[in-house]
Amino acid sequence: MTRKQLIEAIRSKSSYLCVGLDTDPERIPKQLLSSPDPIFEFNKAIIDATRDFAVAYKINTAFYEAQGIDGWKAMQKTVEYIPKDIFTIADAKRGDIGNTSSQYAKAFFEKLPFDSITVAPYMGSDSVQPFLEYPGKWAIVLGLTSNAGAADFELKTMEGSRLYEQVLKTVAEWGTDENLMFVVGATQAAEFKNIRKIIPTHFLLVPGVGAQGGSLKEISEYAMNEDIGLLVNASRAVIYADNTTDFASAARKQAQAYQQEMKTYIR
């Protein structure tokens, strides 16, 4: 999906909601567990319920890889089921030496039809570049994360600037705002103004709204740019809004609530 197509989808739905499909078999409603593929059946119901309000779905691959081959198959069925006009993210946090990253890119962009993949930049440009060689595909690079451990490295000052600032400045030169996004955690709202000074036009994938306590209002106020420039992810708050037979309806209601709030912030 191109930047133009993504912006058009956001404007059309008045939404920059990304629904995270962090599907844990232990949290799937019990009535689905007897089906041949409970993970896919759950995801299918969530997608059907929320597709009117979501512009992206983020599949956290760890939840699928932990289930072995069955989980991988469920992931493939899920990404293939998502409507083509909705942006898809493989939250895989890959990043390795060049020839290995090339294989990761092939796995997620050729064998699986993802639009994007999250990437760790620690190993440098040759570990990220292979993901930038696919037209219409995106590398979403870890910038400033929402976890407590971000203080261990990302927020440390080195040579007059914090490490995450150096990452943003350096990585932005490896691609463009047409194929690079950055992950910035919702709990880092105080940093958004500074981040926008460094990367004013790039899209940001912002996890941490909902269960992690990030403020949608603050994100929208401090990080939105002329093209919106945001994909705000909510996972548990949407997909586990209810664990009864009404789980899909509850997910739809929660997704709609996020969309309605987002609509008020869009300018």
- Type of residue found at 99: N
CB 147 within 8 A of CB 185: yes
3-class DSSP state of 121:
coil
Closest CA to 89 of 198, 164, 8, 183: 183
Element at 46 (helix H, strand E): helix 38-50
d(CA 147, CA 185): 8
Rounded Cα–Cα distance for residues 121 and 93 (Å): 9
Q: Say which of 93, 106, 193, 197 is annotated catalytic.
A: 93
Give the other-Cβ count within 10 Å of 266's Cβ.
14
Side chain identity, residue 258: Y
**Known active-site residue 93:** yes
Q: Is 96 helix (H, G, I), strand (E, B) or coil?
A: coil
| Helices marked H in 60-210 | 62-65, 68-81, 98-106, 125-128, 163-171, 192-198
Nearest Cα residue to 114 out of 98, 94, 91, 132: 91
| Measured CA distances, 138 to 31, 34, 90, 108 (Å) | 37, 37, 10, 11
Active site members: 93
